[in-house]
Structure 1
Amino acid sequence: MTVSIAVAGASGYAGGEVLRLLADHPGVEVTTVTAHSNAGQRLIDVQPHLRSLDYLTFAETTPEVLAGHDAVVLALPHGASGAVAASLPDSTLVLDCGADHRLTSEADWERFYGGEYHGAWTYGLPELLHADGTRHREHLSGARRIAVPGCNVTAVTLGLAPGIRSEVIEPADLTAALAVGPSGAGRALKTMLLGSELMGSASPYAVGGTHRHIPEILQNLRVAGAAHPSISFTPVLVPMSRGILATITARLEPGADASSVRSAWESAYSSEPFVHVLPEGHFPKTADVVGANTALIGLAVDEDAGRVVVVVALDNLVKGTAGAAVQSLNLALGLPEDLGLPRNGVAP
């Protein structure tokens, strides 16, 4: 049986990437795309790289248009998904690529986002380690409401969870500095995202514990076993259209060494199709994962500082957003988890 899918917010970067992946997915058919200001235009006039979907025209994003599909992917601005999702039948599989249903704490939502709190859905990070050694994918089977993780969150969570779970790193005094491409901020026109502002420059933003992804990261680390995690998180915009390179550090637990650190990460991800730990002395580049649903991880122990250094590279639009949505969709529908998802990147 072919699954019919509607993608809301399909004129943006995240929505376009969802469509790119679904276009080659053998188990689904994209039957409806919606947008706001682009409603009435042909899809390929806005997303000209999606030639195989040239039969689609943007409709208005309304409950009536989205109803009747087996699955709906919401690629809408933060704060816009809650009301739309509430109008859809419980039987419809809904995946929210925005933040509206990620946080389990209403207080965290109020502090970092504000506006109406719509509650937490099943979290769409299959590889997330739990303190008891299980993976989060077990919660995705048969789910009908799925919150796709934040892209920065995915990088930091994948980088830290094995050390937390194996108790080889301390969950406090964590640091994460991320070089990020501006596509993660969406397609809306903003001065800081203009080419003339980005080219030849690196610009920090949301400095000093204000980034909206911080509570989501801490939420995931608690799932992995950290009782009271704390992290200093600093993202930096760099002139690449897509990609995240996260450099993460953590203090070693007493008695932990380079061997136990490597064992923790390698055992955590040895059977994961989309998360790969590189050999000792090797570290990833964002160019290695462009277009792929793959996260690459490099590890080192800074013995003088007594810290683990974890470097994670992923494509913010694939593994960080659209790929996570399709991966979760596959699990929810009982399809092979890797169906329609590329492991290979694009080079040069």
Structure 2
Amino acid sequence: MGVTVAVAGASGYAGGELLRLLAGHPDLEVIAATGHSHAGQPVTDLHPQLVSYGDLVFSDTSADVLAAADLVFLALPHGASAALVAELPGHRKVVDLGADFRLADAAAWQRYYGGAHAGTWTYGLPELPGQRAVIAASDRVANTGCYAVSVITALAPLIAAGLVEAEDVVVVASSGTSGAGRAAKLSLLGTEVMADLSAYKVGAHQHVPEIRQATGARSLSMTPVLAPMARGILATVAARPSSPGLQVEQVREVLHHAYAGEPFVHLLPAGRQPHTAATLGSNSVQLQAAVDIDSGRVIVTSALDNLGKGAAGQAVQNANLMLGLDETAGLSANGVAP
């Protein structure tokens, strides 16, 4: 038996993707999958693609069930993790895919999420400078938000290098419908989504404070767009250069230096744009840089799978570090096509 893990919220899209990745992990063994309203049902009733879990049934979401595992993944709605964590043994390793413990600023939590701020855990983005070692030394890690990964990987190295201003960053990002969760909603019906694009949470998206916290951006405008696809995020991140005459080669050099040797963040060759389809089923982020010939703004485009590097894949990557395992274990940098 390897390291035992439990997945809370395994009936959702992110939870199901976690189960899929864990099924192929060489060192982790799932001993419990909880789905409160589906307790007692076979996992394959909701996730028929997960045939290797034919004997596993959903358990009730309780601390007693989860505490039996060496590591717990929480794939619960925002605001639901804190109460459950309070009942777990303090030494139990936990990766929370929700937002409860991402923000250091209680006022920012109140402004964007509402309710009491539960506290702050280690932020789970290994590609940030110095963060990999911090994650490896932590028992509690707050997984990144999906949009946040796409923007932070594009923006953080440029601000850190002083290449772009931290003020007036503009982001437009499109996401597939799985990012909204599995609950039935009229706006997510196939007939509503097909052949349609629509913006939502304009001017008040909850990932903005998380992105600012991780990148050092001081003001950021973000417009999320719901796209007619099941999974994937394509983000465009535009920032003012710190000095006039900035060349795209300088931007690419900073990104290349930041991610050289990283297994999951890839700066594409010049002239090739990121595609969401190219990241499907992977734990990868694809990046490309440009300098706008009219405004002079730096533009970095990024693509990822919101259920992969934006959620479940990122969580497994963090868990690998926390457990002293190969960081890439159970994960693929390669997407699925067509």
TM-score, normalization by structure 2: 0.98
Matches within 5 A, 1:8-19: 8-19=8-19
Cα separation, 1, equivalents of 2:5 and 2:53: 13
Cα separation, 1, equivalents of 2:139 and 2:78: 20
RMSD: 1.0
Secondary structure of 2:59's match? strand
1:319 offset after TM fit, Å?
0.3
Equivalent of residue 205 in structure 2, options 194, 208, 211: 211
Equivalent of residue 153 in structure 2, options 158, 173, 197: 158
Secondary structure of 1:252's match? coil
Secondary structure of 1:73's match? strand
Aligned to 2:302: 312
- Mean CA deviation greater in 303-312 or 20-29: 303-312
Q: Deviations over 1:288-309 (max 9, x none)?
A: 0000000000111113211111
- Asked whether the 8 Å contact 2:248–2:289 carries over to 1, the reply is no
Aligned to 1:230: 219
Secondary structure of 1:37's match? helix
1:57 offset after TM fit, Å?
0.5
Aligned to 2:52: 52
Aligned to 2:238: 249
1:68 offset after TM fit, Å?
2.0
Aligned to 2:272: 282
- Asked whether the 8 Å contact 1:172–1:231 carries over to 2, the reply is yes
Aligned to 1:195: 190
Equivalent of residue 266 in structure 1, options 235, 241, 256: 256
Secondary structure of 2:26's match? coil
Cα separation, 2, equivalents of 1:41 and 1:185: 23
Q: Percent identity?
A: 53
Q: Is there any run of 5+ residues in structure 2 with no aligned partner, and where?
A: none
Report how many aligned residue pairs link the two structures: 337
Counterpart AA for 1:216: E
- Asked whether the 8 Å contact 2:259–2:266 carries over to 1, the reply is yes
1:338 offset after TM fit, Å?
0.5
- Asked whether the 8 Å contact 1:288–1:345 carries over to 2, the reply is yes
Cα separation, 1, equivalents of 2:78 and 2:294: 42
Cα separation, 2, equivalents of 1:68 and 1:52: 21
| 2:175 is aligned with 1:180 | yes
Q: Is there any run of 5+ residues in structure 1 with no aligned partner, and where?
A: 129-133
Q: Deviations over 1:158-216 (max 9, x none)?
A: 010111111111111111101110101110111111111101100100012x1111111
1:258 offset after TM fit, Å?
2.0
Matches within 5 A, 1:117-156: 117-128=117-128, 134-156=129-151
1:220 offset after TM fit, Å?
0.6
- Asked whether the 8 Å contact 1:151–1:321 carries over to 2, the reply is yes
Aligned to 2:284: 294
1:84 offset after TM fit, Å?
0.4
Cα separation, 1, equivalents of 2:17 and 2:79: 21
- Asked whether the 8 Å contact 1:289–1:314 carries over to 2, the reply is yes
Q: Deviations over 1:197-245 (max 9, x none)?
A: 101100100012x1111111111112xxx5xx21110000010000000
Secondary structure of 2:118's match? coil
- Asked whether the 8 Å contact 1:282–1:298 carries over to 2, the reply is yes
- Asked whether the 8 Å contact 1:281–1:300 carries over to 2, the reply is no
Secondary structure of 2:38's match? coil
TM-score, normalization by structure 1: 0.95
1:115 offset after TM fit, Å?
1.6
Cα separation, 2, equivalents of 1:74 and 1:11: 12
- Asked whether the 8 Å contact 1:12–1:187 carries over to 2, the reply is yes
Aligned to 1:327: 317
Aligned to 1:37: 37
